[in-house]
Each structure stands twice: as structure tokens, then as C-alpha cells.
Amino acid sequence: PFEKSKGQHILRNPALVDSIVAKAGLKPTDTVLEIGPGTGNLTKRLLEAGVKAVVAVELDPRMVLELNRRFQGHPLSSRLKVIQGDVLKCDLPYFDICVANIPYQISSPLTFKLLSHRPIFRCAVIMFQREFAMRLVAQPGDSLYCRLSVNVQLLSRVSHLLKVGRNNFRPPPKVDSSVVRIEPRKPLPPVSFKEWDGLVRICFNRKNKTLGALFKQKRVLELLEKNYKTMQSLQLTQDAEMGEEKMSADDVAVLANMVEDLSMETGDEKEDDEMEMDDADMAGDGAASFKEKVMGILQQGDFAEKRGSKLSQVDFLYLLSLFNKAGIHFS
Ligand code: SAM
């Protein structure tokens, strides 16, 4: 009866369902978003926890039927709303907190859909495939540290809550799982996410290559030079708007504080934040080629020999601010 393509693995361990609900820290005023309620084992516990409402988005019409049948005439049913549809395609309703055992194939787009939803929610407690969960929480230097880690950690604090073996599900999936807590940063960093992701993409294209080598690639230099020229011509007419996109030194300081917890383990890398101001020709437009300009920026921040796999949030923010100050943009 269960469809593999929809990632239908039903949670069968009531103690586990209870501990997921307990970890969520629900309040009586909360509207909970549940994604993929399936037959409703988690839904039932969420309702019993005494929240204001549960809004459940389920793709499979048969599951929606089953869910409605299960809660029909039930005293809790007035607080449950089931929406049939694809969570990636529908407009999300208002919610304070998201609790879900999701189909793993939508992990990444769903995470970013949640993080870009407004108003921003308080927290999400989500079951992911173990490896995806470990990528979410990975720190600089960990083997699973990647673009996903850096991007999700820019927007939220992530923590690993529970390891869940595959035998807690029927039918058991091929992989183990983990429950993760995602708490959006408040306020969200004053950074253009497109710019940030543009930089991070380049740095993780080969995460163990030095930034010096990655930024020497023709493809990268051409892209950056194109952006640079577009920006320069725009700047003449739209100076005011441009100002909004740039990060000031104050913004970087604010961000550095916010991500302090994430950079603790990188220890000596923090010293790289010292700016060297004596690299005079770096910012000058003069005769220096665009490539030299880019290399100069990497050297200025002591990044040329560094690798994306070892850079912290603070390092990426600092590098982005150096590029932006020199008029170089990533989107
Ligand atoms: N929450 C239930 C539980 O823990 O027992 C079921 C979880 S099961 C891993 C995932 C559920 O998500 C399935 O019921 C499946 O039909 C549903 N689903 C799959 N893709 C979906 C999508 N794009 N949008 C909403 N629900 C989806």
C-alpha cells in the first residue's frame, strides 16, 4: 500500500514519536505545520500536545482520506486542517513551528523553502536521512562540511537531536535517519543570499582546492568581471540602491557576532580577519588586470592558500565583504 516514490515510511515507534514531540517545545498558542502526515501517527500526538492548530500538507490523496477518517468525529479534529498538495508547490500557511517526518527526496528544497518563508517561524524539528542531517550540522574541517552546511547555517542554527535507526519505520527505508532542530537566526543576516551563495558555490566547486586556484579559473574570472562591469555601469545611475546591497563594516561585525558560535572550532582561522591595509595597488583600477585584482583581494584577506572546506561563516562573510568593497559581486 505504501509508495516508494513518495517516500512513504510510517513511524511505528510510539516512544520515538513522543520524544520528537517533546523535543519540539510546543506552546498552547502554536500553529504547527506538519509535512507529509501519512497515516497520522505524529499528527495525533501533536494534537494531543494541546497546540492551537495543526496544518498538515499531504501529497497522497489516499493518505488524506485515511487521515480524515482517522480524526473524523474526534474531539481533536477541530484543530486539524489537512491540505492536499505538494508542499514544494503550494503556498505555505502561517506557522510557528514545523514538525515533520518528511519524504527524504525533498529534503534540500524543503529546507530552503521553510527558511525563506515569511513571517519566519520559531523552529523546525525534522526527520532527515542521517547523512543529510550530518551535512546540515557539519563544521569547517568535517568531511561532510559543504555548501549545504554553509548556506543553512547562514540562515539558521542547526542542531542534531536524535539518531533514529531504520527499523523505527514501516517499511524500513534503506538508510538511517536523524532528527534535527533548525532555528532561523533572528534577525536574519543582512546579506544578499544570492551573493553569498554565488561566493560559496565557487569556493565549494572543488572544496579541497585552494581559493587561489579556484578563482584563477577562466570561467570564474569571466563571470565576476561581467558582474563587475554591469555593477559599475549601474552604479552611475543607481548609486542609492546599490548601497543597500553592500555590506558595511558594521554589518560584518553584527554577522560575526551572530555566527560566533559556529566559528569557535576554527580557532586560529579567526586571526585571518585582521585586515592588511598596505596592499596599495589591489583596490586601484589602474593597470592591474581583473585577475590581479581578484588575486589581490584573496591575498589581502590571506585567503589564497585556504580551502573552502576549512572556512567558517565568519571567513566567508569577511571574504564576501572584501570582494564587495572592491565592487566585485557574485550575482
Ligand atoms: N508522517 C508520517 C509518519 O511519520 O508516519 C509519514 C511520513 S512519510 C516518510 C512521508 C509522507 O510524505 C508520505 O505520507 C508521503 O505521501 C508524503 N509526501 C511525499 N511527498 C510529498 C510532498 N511533495 N508534499 C507533501 N507530502 C508529501
Give me the percent of the chain exceeding a pLDDT of 70. Answer: 84
Helix (H) / strand (E) element for 149: namely helix 147-155
Nearest CA to ligand 1 atom 20: 6
What pLDDT score does 2 carry? Answer: 77
Query: Which band of pLDDT confidence, cut at 50, 70 and 90, is reported for residue 233?
Result: confident
Q: Kindly report the pTM of this predicted structure.
A: 0.84
Any ligand 1 atom below 6 A from CB of 40: no
- Ligand 1 pocket member 67 (CB < 6 A): no
ipTM of model: 0.98
Q: Apex CA 323: angle with CA 250 and CA 325, to 5°?
A: 50
How high is the pLDDT of residue 253? 52
Report whether 321 contacts 254 (CB < 8 A). Answer: no
The 10 Å Cβ neighbour count of residue 23 is: 15
Please state, in angstroms and rounded to a whole number, the distance separating the CA atoms of residues 242 and 236.
10
pLDDT tens, position by position, 9-54: 999 999 999 999 999 999 999 999 999 999 999 999 999 999 999 9
| CA nearest neighbour of 282 among 261, 265, 304 | 304
Nearest C-alpha neighbor of 140 from the set 97, 69, 62, 200: 200
Cα 35 to averaged position of ligand 1 atoms, centre (Å): 6
> Mean pLDDT, to the nearest integer, of 119-127?
97
pLDDT score of 190: 83
What's the CA-to-centroid distance between 75 and ligand 1, angstroms? 24
For residue 83, list its beta bridge partners: 57
The span from the CA of 255 to the CA of 71, in Å, is 46
Q: Is the CB of 44 under 6 A from ligand 1?
A: no
Rounded distance between C-alpha atoms, residue 148 and residue 144, angstroms: 10
Q: For residue 119, say if its preceding peptide bond is cis, omega within 30 degrees of 0.
A: yes
CA distance 80 to 102: 18
Residues 282, 280: Cα–Cα separation, whole Å = 6
Give the pLDDT confidence score for residue 264 in this predicted structure.
37
- Which residue, by CA, sits nearest to atom 22 of ligand 1? 86
Q: What is the pLDDT of residues 241-291, one digit of tens each?
A: 544 444 555 555 555 544 443 433 333 333 333 333 333 444 444 435 999
What is the distance between the alpha carbons of residues 48 and 230, in angstroms, rounded to a whole number?
A: 56
Q: Is the CB of 45 under 6 A from ligand 1?
A: no
d(CA 321, CA 331): 14
Q: Which tens digit of pLDDT belongs to each residue from 156-194?
A: 999 999 999 999 999 999 999 999 999 999 988 889 999
The CA-CA-CA angle for residues 130, 132, 135, to 5°, reads 110
Give me ligand 1 centre to Cα 138, in Å: 26
Q: Ligand 1 centre and the CA of 47: distance in Å? A: 18
